[in-house]
Structure 1
Amino acid sequence: MMEQPIFERDPSDPAARTDPARKEINPLLKLVLELGPLMVFFFANARGEWLIERFPALSNIGEPIFIATALFMAATAIALAASWILVRSLPIMPLISGIVVLIFGALTLWLHNETFIKMKPTIVNALFGIILLGGLYFGKSLLGYVFDSAFKLNAEGWRKLTMRWGIFFIFLAVLNEVVWRSFSTDFWVAFKVWGTMPITLLFTFAQMPLVMKYSIEPAAEKASSKDQ
């Protein structure tokens, strides 16, 4: 019996799709696990004083942004643990993001300096962009690790989609730098939820023509797997 891998398998590996042990998480639940920690962060920052009134111990952490950071770290760890419990594997990009959250969140709380948590999106997005574009340089369309369960594309489709997302992640990194350095903390937190998320959704929808153009029909995909 083949041992279940800890991390998501390479989507270009035919065995990744035919492995009977492979589990897939419900798309809606996956969305909740990925966006849930961010919503916790936004709520805790916006309602920090309210939380302190009901849970006085939180006042030891400091201002709302620090309380939000601590809860963000906890929610991120819980989301990753839930992913592991449900599918016995860890999604690569949320895992990388989670590691950065924990490192920069810890620095934020330890040094009591909110700059670190503000830099987290810059680091994560720049890292994702570099990884995706770097993967293309070495002939790997790594975006399949993220969207393989949602899209079935041919090699050309994955290459083009990976290029677009790599550039988009770099754009998000630059955008985060501009926002947190130019506006208040509350504005930055709100922008993460009501700015970055809508921009990302619009960008995602804008890629649908490309996805439809390069999608692989189930029958064609099955034939391709047999040939391999």
Structure 2
Amino acid sequence: MTEETVPTAAKKTSFWLDFGPLLIFFAAFLYWRRNHPDEALIWAAGVLAIAATFALLISWVRHRTLSPVLIFSTIVIGGSALIALLTGDKRFIYMKPTFLNALYGVVVIGGVIFGKNVIKLLMGSAFELPDDKWNVLAIRWAIFFFAMAILNEIIWRNFSEDFWAGFKVFGFLPLTILFTLTQIPFLNKFGEMKTD
């Protein structure tokens, strides 16, 4: 493997560790939906919790480090699946993305207010930006997180369970990628990528 292919391989691994559990969730949902439609979402959420835990362990074995965000989101995934399984209440599963995105939005805004810019902490090793521009970027991300929380609420309350499950896997990730891409002109205009 050449030096040029190492980052590509790492990106592919990271993609599958992030997106793989969601694909497993959707496959499990479709499988159980055929014979047990009322319980499909709860069991698929349990499968997602297990898959997310395995992804966390694989990430630890490969990198010997774990991001607090990944740990926290895995705990929330497992907790919401467990509570839904114990209570039979699917709302804990439906509202998990709302809770996570709203919390991320609050943390990012709080970071700007208290001078601990979370976006800069996450991306500062890759980009150089003036502090005021980091704050602008953070506010944009916070608005995006709040919008995703609102979108999740609209979808689960107004559309079918099948639509929500599909959108959770094939809607939220593309929207996140699209939003990330829309921030590239801002980064190119006001900052530069670090080369070392």
For 1:64, the equivalent position in structure 2 comes to 40
Rate the CA distance shift 1:218–1:100 in 2: closer, same or farther, 3 A.
Answer: closer
Verify: 1:82 aligned to 2:58, yes or no. yes
Pairing 1:152–2:127 present: yes
Q: Which amino acid aligns with 1:97?
A: S
Aligned with 2:91 (options 115, 120, 137):
115
Aligned to 1:43: 27
Alignment of 1:11-26 (within 5 A): 26=10
Q: Does 1:174 align with 2:158?
A: no
Structure 2 gap ranges (5+): 1-8
Contact 2:128 2:194 in 1 (8 A): no
Q: Give 3-state SS (helix, strand or coil) of 1:128's partner.
A: helix
Amino acid at match of 2:128: L
Task: Among all aligned residue pairs of Structure 1 and Structure 2, give the percentage whose two residues are the same amino acid.
Answer: 35
Shift of 1:152: 1.4
2:4 counterpart residue number:
none
Number of aligned residue pairs: 186
Given the alignment, which residue of 179, 190, 194 partners 1:214?
190
Please give the TM-score of this superposition, normalised by the length of structure 2.
0.86
Deviations 1:66-92 (A, max 9, x none): 221111000111111111111111112
Are the counterparts in 1 of residues 45 and 81 from structure 2 also a CA contact under 8 Å?
yes
Establish whether residue 28 from structure 1 lines up as the match of residue 12 from structure 2: yes
Superposition deviation, residue 140 in structure 1: 1.6
Whether contact under 8 Å (2:49, 2:77) holds in the other structure is yes
Post-superposition offset of 1:217: 5.1
> Contact 1:45–1:64 at 8 Å: present in 2 too?
yes
Contact 1:91 1:146 in 2 (8 A): no
Q: Aligned AA for 1:77?
A: T
CA deviation after TM superposition for structure 1 residue 145, in Å? 4.2
Q: Which residue of 2 aligns with 1:11?
A: none
Partner Cα distance (1:71, 1:146) in 2 = 29
Separation in structure 1 between the aligned mates of residue 100 and residue 193 of structure 2, nearest angstrom: 33
Specify every segment of 5 or more residues in structure 1 that has no aligned partner in the other structure, as ranges: 1-24, 53-58, 223-228
Say if 1:132 and 1:142, in contact at 8 Å, map to a contact too.
yes
Instruction: Report Cα offsets for 1:187-209 as digits up to 9, x if no partner.
Output: 11011122222221211111110
Say whether 1:104 aligns with 2:80: yes
Q: Which residue of 1 aligns with 2:169?
A: 193
Change (3 A) 1:181 1:73: same
How big is the shift at 1:148?
4.5
- Shift of the alpha carbon at 1:215? 3.0
The 1:49–1:166 alpha-carbon spacing in structure 2 relative to 1, beyond 3 Å, is: closer
SS at match of 1:140: coil
Residue 128 of structure 1 and its aligned partner are, at CA, apart by 0.4
Structure with the largest fraction of helix: 2
Could you say which structure has the larger radius of gyration? 1
1:91-148 Cα distance to aligned partner (Å, 9 max, x none): 1222221111111111011111211111100000001000001100011210234435
